[in-house]
Amino acid sequence: MMNMLSVTGLTAGYGRVTVLHGIGIEAGKHGNVGLFGPNGHGKTTLLRAVSGLLKPKAGSIVFDGADITGESARSIVARGLVHVPQGNTLFPDLTIADCMSLGAFSPHARPHEAANKERVAALFPKLAERWRQRVRTLSGGERQMVSIGVALMSHPKLLILDEPTLGLAPKIKDELCKAVLDISKAGVPLIVVEQDVEFLLELTNHLYFINHGQVETEIKPGDSLAHSDIMAMYFGQ
Amino acid sequence: MNALADILFGGLFQGSLYAMMAVGLALVWTTIGVFNFSHGVLMMLGAYFAWQLVDWGLTAALAFPIAVLLMAGVGWVLQATVVRPLIGRANLVLVVVITTLAAGSLIENGVLELWGPRSKQIPPLVAGNAMLGGVGVSLHQIAIIVVTPIILLALWLFLNRTRLGLALRAVAQNEDAARLVGLNVTMLYGLAFAIAASLAALAGIFLGGYRFMTPVMGADPLLKALIVVVFGGISSISGPIFAAYLIGFFEAICSYYFGLYWTPALLFAALILTLMIKPEGIFASRSRGLA
Ligand SMILES: Nc1ncnc2c1ncn2[C@@H]1O[C@H](COP(=O)(O)OP(=O)(O)OP(=O)(O)O)[C@@H](O)[C@H]1O
Ligand SMILES: [Mg+2]
């Protein structure tokens, strides 16, 4: 089987500052991919480049057999590569239902709109109760659920989640983890950035440790690794 | 003769005009989140386009839609030049007030240069007069009273009942999130201004059909539109529409009972009082966004 996503030699940054220095990752072959590493070392930047929010300076991104380097976010989402950004505030003045309709804006997602909506409602019963509530009045956890729900409405072939449980209380965090696991079990491969090592290990079996805008260590499925190894990487041996 | 007919007609007519003037301004504010201070100039330019086309020999039925379409293009270009490049700035609202004012003054002087200061008139939507409940009225005014609600309703349905309208309401609230669901951000910004400028052109054509046109004819309507939008509440498109008719009727009643002379003063007194009691506007909820 081919890789669903191959990023090679990607260089990207903001203005004159380069954040990613020729980074490369593969996803979609061995199961879910996890990215981890210290704050501010380019995980979010990598994901933004992959989903077309940020134009890379060099390197290539191939998704589903097509070179998508430099494509607009709009055409990338239409290919089924869907990104839930870190700390997404969504559309504060719209209702949850409005956000879901927007999630299905891409032409490829329209035919699946009704089915995906049911899927979201089943996954997050809490949202289904408050379909007409405005996003600005939601709690952080609920907003994260809407964010993931919107992504599901876009009918993903590959789903990118950037710190889905950031800043959430344990109870709601567990709820979200369960939902994300369900999504993965339903057959959507994931790329996840997550600070919660527990959750990361439960969800993914192919890990990249990202440091200074590069992959410092790749842990392939089957490689033996322990919680403590990862903690050691985080804090520097 | 007939007080009721007089007030009813006057209120509906003024209300329709105010609604047409204000709705484009409200559209840009509720979607993009900026005030377009060249809105009055766009009304003027739309009327001049219509005049020029008629002068070249086109019938009004052809000239008016073409003028409206041309103005959609002008709105698009205006947005691409003096609004879009500034998105993301701190103080965006104030900066755009200045850039649109500047663009407006440029257009105004261009029109003065090109068409001269002499006042002009374009044909009415419908020629002729009629008697209505003992009051003599022009068919142009009746056409405005009939056409305006249809256009406003169509706009409301577009914004609230179609996915493209939803996209238009969403785009400025979070540009990254908009791009990630596949919205064409550049196109939507352009569309908001194109529609607003078309609506302005229509208001200009309404005005030019019963009043003499000059290059500065947009100044007073812009002021009226601002009053309507602020009074109605800047959080939605329906607030200003209701406010426009409310103000229209208020003026009709005042001018009937107290005379034209006192009407502006009474209107402002009512406005100030309203805004003291309900600062967010009479029909508004507190946040931006359409209702
Ligand atoms: N919009 C921006 N403009 C300029 N610099 C930015 C921008 N966004 C991020 N950066 C910088 O790029 C670097 C990498 O940031 P990035 O968000 O990719 O890190 P991260 O690994 O996702 O961190 P975290 O774990 O905190 O989310 C940081 O130094 C950050 O300051
Ligand atoms: Mg990040």
At A62-72, the pLDDT tens digits run 999 999 999 99
Q: Is A234 in the pocket of ligand 1 (CB under 6 A)?
A: no
CB contacts < 8 A (A, B): 76
Encode burial over A148-171: b for 16+ CB neighbours within 10 A, e otherwise.
bbbbbbbbbbbbbbbbbbeebeee
The pLDDT of residue B291 is 39
Sequence letter at residue B18: Y
Distance CA A230, CA A196 (A): 11
CB contact under 8 A, A91 and B182: no
**DSSP three-state, residue B147:** helix
Q: Which residue in the set A74, A88, A101 is minimally distant from B179, CB to CB? A: A74
In angstroms, what CA-CA distances link B228 with A92, B110, B142?
25, 28, 22
Residue A11 confidence (pLDDT) above 80? yes
The number of CA neighbours under 13 Å toward the Cβ of A220 is 3
The CATH number given to A5-235 is 3.40.50.300
Residue B232 near residue B279 (C-beta atoms within 8 A): no
DSSP characters over B185-219: HHHHHHHHHHHHHHHHHHHHHHHHTTS-B-TTTTH
Spatial CB neighbours of B111, under 8 Å, sequence gap ≥ 6 = B44, B45, B48, B215
Residue B1 confidence (pLDDT) above 80? no
In angstroms, what CA-CA distances link A236 with A74, A132, A216?
39, 47, 12
The pLDDT of residue B285 is 61
Residue B239 near residue B284 (C-beta atoms within 8 A): yes
Return the number of other C-beta atoms located less than 10 Å from residue B258's C-beta: 12
- Give per-residue pLDDT as tens, B94-153: 999 999 999 999 999 999 999 999 999 999 999 999 887 777 889 999 999 999 999 999
- Compare A44 and A223 and report the one with higher pLDDT: A44
Residue A163 confidence (pLDDT) above 80? yes
DSSP characters over chain A: ---SEEEEEEEEEETTEEEEEEEEEEESSSS-EEEE-STTSSHHHHHHHHTTSS--SEEEEEETTEE-TT--HHHHHHTTEEEE-TT----TTSBHHHHHHHHT-STTTGGGHHHHHHHHHHH-HHHHTTTTSBGGGS-HHHHHHHHHHHHHHT--SEEEEESTTTT--HHHHHHHHHHHHHHHHTT--EEEE-S-HHHHHHH-SEEEEEETTEEEEEE-TTS---HHHHHHHHH--
Distance CA A133, CA A98 (A): 10
Q: Is A211 in the pocket of ligand 1 (CB under 6 A)?
A: no
- Compare A78 and B289 and report the one with higher pLDDT: A78
Average pLDDT score over residue span B211-223: 94
Task: Looking at the complex, report in whole angstroms how far the Cα of residue A164 sits from the nearest Cα belonging to chain B.
Answer: 15
Instruction: Give me B168's structure tokens.
Output: 């238009």
Residue B289 confidence (pLDDT) above 50? no
Average pLDDT score over residue span B6-27: 94
A138 Ramachandran zone, left/alpha/beta (phi>0; psi -120 to 50): beta
Average pLDDT score over residue span B191-219: 96
CA A160 – ligand 1 centroid, Å? 17
Average pLDDT score over residue span B52-61: 96
Distance of CA B124 to the CA centre of its chain: 19
Instruction: Give me A44's structure tokens.
Output: 């979010």
Domain layout of chain B by residue ranges: 2-277
Out of A8-22, B32-46, B268-282, which region has the weakest mean confidence (pLDDT)? Answer: B268-282
CB contact under 8 A, A101 and B177: no
Element (H, E) at B15: helix B3-32
Residue B186 near residue B84 (C-beta atoms within 8 A): yes
Q: Closest Cα to atom 10, ligand 1: which residue? A: A14
Q: What is the mean pLDDT of chain A?
A: 92
Task: Looking at the complex, report in whole angstroms how far the Cα of residue B272 sits from the nearest Cα belonging to chain A.
Answer: 28
Q: Closest Cα to atom 29, ligand 1: which residue? A: A40
Q: What is the ipTM of this complex?
A: 0.94
Q: Which residue in the set A52, A136, A154 is minimally distant from B181, CB to CB? A: A154
The pLDDT of residue B290 is 41
Full-model pTM:
0.91
Residue A204 near residue A32 (C-beta atoms within 8 A): yes
Q: Closest Cα to atom 24, ligand 1: which residue? A: A39
Average pLDDT score over residue span B86-93: 90
Encode burial over B240-255: b for 16+ CB neighbours within 10 A, e otherwise.
bbbbbbbbbbbbbbbb
Residue A143 near residue A24 (C-beta atoms within 8 A): no
Q: Give me the sheet containing A206-211, strands edge to edge.
A: A81-84, A158-162, A190-193, A33-36, A206-211, A214-219
The pLDDT of residue B275 is 86
CA A210 – ligand 2 centroid, Å? 11
Average pLDDT score over residue span B163-170: 96
Ligand nearest to the CA of A46: 1
